[in-house]
């Protein structure tokens, strides 16, 4: 947000205006200034609408004023719809009149290149100078269905009713936000607020999450996000929503370089790396969608306000095939099939015909489908089972009872605290209306429903975890260590040598192999005997980016003669492959026995800062790309969570007779590395340990290290 933090009262006044003036109003509803007037009238804005246009006395049946100075009434909100070059003048006029709340729908700013960016910078300076509250520019306005107020030029709904609801939607693409309103209206869903932030010279995505987190009538917050420039502010807003127990559901764009460039052109926001956003979403409990359909699927699931106690799902089906397909998808979204309690099974067997499958997934068959009361009672029995956390009802057709069936489902759903989802592709319009109107999540597609159920569990699990704070936190590092590390880096440029990088690791308490830097073969033999064979021999230079390709590393050297041959071969390799290189020396190190390898890295993201990566190391890095990401720094407990997310995580716990390393040592080492990356974020561009190996005594040892400087 460009200006100082807005308090709740100021934002409520902004989004609940009593009088709205439209500068650039038009009689033509095809023009933005005309469409704003039309929509305010069409959706019954309860306050006063004041068109401003010097060339008209009347617009769409309303008295029109030549300028804001001529308006005698108090104006709460000014909508600006004039060419971009005229916007600063209008803003100055508003400031002079004490009109501090503006929606600028005009485009032609940062999204249009250098001239537009200069104009936007000028606009931002005016906002700061006059302490204004501004939405936009280059936005489509906002909708407050609770009032209702619709200062926007894009709004389409199915039917004639603007539905309200307990969710809110923030969009950096205004048209996409209004598309969400339209699609939701087709399923009888509504939003309390829909806010288009545009180029965000003042009110931005993060500040809107913060506002909606404190709005009592909003229970879930969703949005379309292209990018932000202040990652810390966004994370604070996410935490505010989490503290209010309001799920945040995000459709994030910008995963490709082409999309990132389009984002810079569209809103001027930094896209950041998609990996960084995913890591932040994971850490802050934000639920991510890859399509607008997925986003609306989650909105439907969260609408009743119920969270599961666990991830155990009961699938109740009137179609064996659909039940099986639903069951197959559950593990993909972190869900398990519930095991019915023996008492539940016994009661179901007494109630249902012998051809029914009384296990999970429960196949009630067509025979039961003809007895509405038996279905109701059997659903209640499943819901009462203490081993069931989430209930999914599945049927392809079921028209024999008409809306009586949907009324029964509504009634049963009303009397349970467990999430209750319905998959009914062939539901009639009347059935859909019955379920929609009563807040029962209804889905046409099996995957949509299971995805939404998984989102419910993911958020519930996040909240459970949030309620039990990490008692340890990231490892404390004395200020003297950070100062010493920065001093060492002050005179360095580009890339550190492996020796210098490992010195920094040891400074932060991370183990490295025992070793010595030597200049001659005689010194190498002496060092190897002191360390004990087998040893590793490496050339030392910050210019050696790829030691293996240059023939500058030899492993598992077992004796003096083998060391002599390796030394001579390495000197030959360096002369042949990098003739201009003068190594600083040669590193003789203990050979840490091979085993399960990890790679640990830090990259400095332009939006969120240091990002920790933990993954399968060695040759597996490129082969399977098995990684977990978190914003740094992290605690040892968070490292263990990350390890649990890896497909290869079992290798480090010990698998089929393989000895695992000491997980506490691993977690401590990686956490210290994350603190190092966070401390040195201003000096370094990238840090990496590859591999991080288990030593014979169970410690985690950094066998190789890379540090790139800014």
pLDDT tens digit sequence for 272-286: 588 899 999 999 999
Buried b (16+ CB within 10 A) or exposed e, 322-356: bbebbbebbeebebebbebeeebbebbeebbeeeb
pLDDT of residue 228: 94
DSSP tag of 415: T
- Cβ atoms 300, 443 nearer than 8 A: yes
Answer whether residue 361 shows pLDDT above 90: yes
- Bridge partners of 675, per DSSP, are none
Residue 594 scores a pLDDT above 80: no
Under the banding of pLDDT at 50, 70 and 90, the label for residue 177 is: confident
Residue 399's pLDDT is what?
A: 77
Q: How many CB atoms lie within 10 A of CB 537?
A: 24
User: How many residues make up the chain in this entry?
Assistant: 710
pLDDT at 454 over 90: yes
| pLDDT at position 621 | 61
Give the mean model confidence (pLDDT) for residues 126-136: 97
HEC string for 278-301 = HHHHHHHCCEEECCHHHHHHHHHH
C-alpha 591/C-alpha 126 separation (Å) is: 64
pLDDT in tens, 478-502: 999 999 999 999 888 899 999 999 9
Q: What is the pLDDT of residue 269?
A: 52
pLDDT average, residue stretch 597-612: 94
pLDDT, mean over the chain: 91
Q: pLDDT band at 657, cuts 50/70/90?
A: very low
The tens digit of pLDDT for each residue in 510-526 reads 999 999 999 999 999 99
Q: Is the dihedral of CA 241, 242, 245, 247 positive or negative?
A: positive
Full set of structural domains in the chain with CATH? 8-301 (3.40.50.261), 307-466 (3.40.50.261), 514-590 (3.30.1490.20), 598-709 (3.30.470.20)
pLDDT confidence band for 2 (50 / 70 / 90): very low
Report whether pLDDT(90) > 90: yes
Are the C-beta atoms of 283 and 631 separated by less than 8 Å? yes
Q: Are 31 and 61 in contact (CB under 8 A)?
A: no
pLDDT of residue 94: 98
Residue 338, classed as helix, strand or coil, is: coil
The DSSP output letter for 596 is S
* Cα–Cα distance measured from residue 523 to residue 598, given in angstroms and rounded to the nearest whole number: 32
- Chain segment 695-704, per-residue pLDDT in tens: 877 789 999 9
Residue 427 phi/psi, 5-degree rounding, is: -60, 140
Beta-carbon count within 10 A of 471 CB: 7
Q: At what angle do helices 205-213 and 231-243 cross, to 10 degrees?
A: 20
Q: How confident is the model at residue 656 (pLDDT cuts 50, 70, 90)?
A: very low
Q: What does the pLDDT read at residue 651?
A: 67
Q: What letter would DSSP give residue 495?
A: B
- pLDDT at res. 504: 97
Q: What is the pLDDT of residue 271?
A: 45
Q: Specify the pLDDT at position 5.
A: 65
Residue-wise pLDDT tens digits, 186-204:
888 889 999 999 999 999 9
Radius of gyration from C-alpha coordinates of the chain: 31
Cβ atoms 241, 302 nearer than 8 A: no
| 137 prior amide bond cis, ω within 30 | yes
Q: 3-state class of 638 per DSSP?
A: helix
Among residues 607, 612, 662, 661, which one has the least CA distance to residue 635? Answer: 612
Q: What are the pLDDT digits (tens) for 142-163?
A: 999 999 999 999 987 766 667 8
């Amino acid at each position: 947000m460009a200006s100082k933090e807005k308090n709740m009262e100021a934002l409520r006044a902004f989004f609940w205006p009593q009088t709205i003036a439209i500068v650039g109003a038009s009689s033509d509803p095809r023009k933005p200034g005309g469409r704003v007037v039309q929509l305010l009238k069409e959706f019954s804005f309860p306050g006063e609408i004041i068109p401003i246009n010097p060339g008209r006395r009347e617009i769409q049946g309303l008295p029109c004023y030549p300028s804001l100075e001529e308006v005698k009434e108090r104006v709460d909100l000014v909508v600006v719809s004039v060419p971009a070059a005229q916007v600063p003048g209008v803003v100055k006029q508003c400031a002079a009149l004490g009109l501090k709340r503006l929606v600028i729908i005009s485009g032609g700013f940062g999204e249009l290149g250098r001239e537009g960016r200069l104009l936007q910078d000028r606009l931002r300076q005016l906002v700061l100078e006059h302490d204004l509250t501004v939405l936009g520019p280059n936005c489509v306005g906002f909708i407050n269905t609770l009032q209702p107020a619709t200062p926007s030029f894009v709004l389409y709904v199915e039917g004639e009713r603007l539905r309200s609801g307990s969710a809110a939607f923030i969009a950096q693409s205004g048209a996409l936000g209004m598309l969400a309103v339209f699609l939701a209206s087709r399923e009888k869903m509504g939003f309390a607020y829909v806010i288009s932030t545009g180029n965000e010279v003042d009110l931005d995505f993060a500040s809107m999450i913060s506002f909606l987190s404190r709005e009592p009538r909003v229970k879930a917050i969703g949005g379309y996000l292209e990018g932000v420039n202040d990652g810390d502010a966004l994370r604070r807003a996410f935490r505010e929503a989490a503290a209010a127990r309001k799920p945040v559901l995000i459709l994030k764009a910008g995963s490709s370089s082409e999309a990132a460039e389009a984002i810079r052109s569209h809103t001027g926001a930094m896209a950041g790396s998609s990996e960084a956003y995913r890591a932040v979403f994971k850490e802050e409990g934000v639920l991510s969608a890859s399509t607008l359909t997925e986003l609306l699927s989650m909105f439907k699931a969260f609408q009743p306000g119920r969270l599961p106690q666990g991830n155990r799902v009961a699938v109740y089906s009137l179609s064996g095939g659909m039940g099986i397909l639903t069951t197959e998808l559950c593990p993909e979204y972190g869900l398990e099939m519930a095991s019915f309690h023996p008492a539940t099974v016994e009661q179901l067997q007494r109630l249902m015909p012998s051809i029914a499958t009384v296990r999970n997934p429960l196949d009630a068959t067509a025979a039961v489908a003809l007895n509405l009361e038996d279905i109701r009672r059997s659903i209640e029995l499943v819901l009462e089972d203490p081993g069931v956390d989430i209930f999914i009802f599945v049927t392809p057709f079921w028209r024999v009872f008409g809306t009586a069936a949907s009324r029964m489902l509504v009634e049963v759903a009303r009397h349970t605290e467990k999430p209750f989802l319905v998959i009914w592709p062939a539901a009639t319009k009347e059935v859909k209306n019955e379920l929609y109107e009563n807040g029962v999540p209804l889905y046409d597609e099996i995957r949509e429903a299971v995805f939404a159920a998984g989102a419910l569990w993911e958020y519930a699990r996040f909240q459970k975890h949030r309620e039990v704070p990490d008692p340890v936190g990231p490892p404390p590092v004395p200020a003297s260590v950070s100062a010493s590390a920065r001093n060492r880096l002050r005179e360095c440029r580009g890339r550190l040598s492996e020796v210098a990088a490992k010195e920094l690791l040891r400074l932060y308490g991370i183990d490295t192999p025992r070793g010595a830097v030597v200049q001659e073969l005689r010194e190498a033999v002496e060092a190897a005997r002191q360390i004990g064979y087998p040893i590793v021999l490496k050339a030392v230079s910050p210019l050696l980016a790829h030691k293996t390709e240059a023939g500058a590393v030899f492993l598992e050297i077992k004796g003096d003669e083998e060391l002599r041959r390796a030394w001579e071969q390495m000197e030959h390799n360096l002369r042949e492959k990098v003739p201009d290189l003068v190594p600083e020396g040669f590193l003789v190190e203990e050979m840490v026995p091979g085993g399960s390898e990890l790679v640990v890295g830090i990259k400095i993201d332009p939006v969120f800062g240091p990002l920790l990566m933990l993954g399968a190391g060695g040759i597996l890095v490129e082969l399977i790309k098995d990684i977990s990401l978190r914003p740094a720094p992290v605690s040892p407990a968070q490292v263990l969570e990350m390890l649990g997310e890896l497909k290869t995580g079992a290798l480090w716990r010990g698998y089929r007779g393989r000895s695992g390393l000491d997980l506490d040592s691993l977690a401590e080492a990686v956490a210290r590395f994350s603190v190092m990356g966070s401390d040195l974020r201003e000096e370094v561009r990238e840090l990496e340990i590859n591999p991080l190996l288990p030593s014979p005594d169970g410690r985690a040892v950094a066998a190789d290290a890379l540090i790139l400087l800014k």
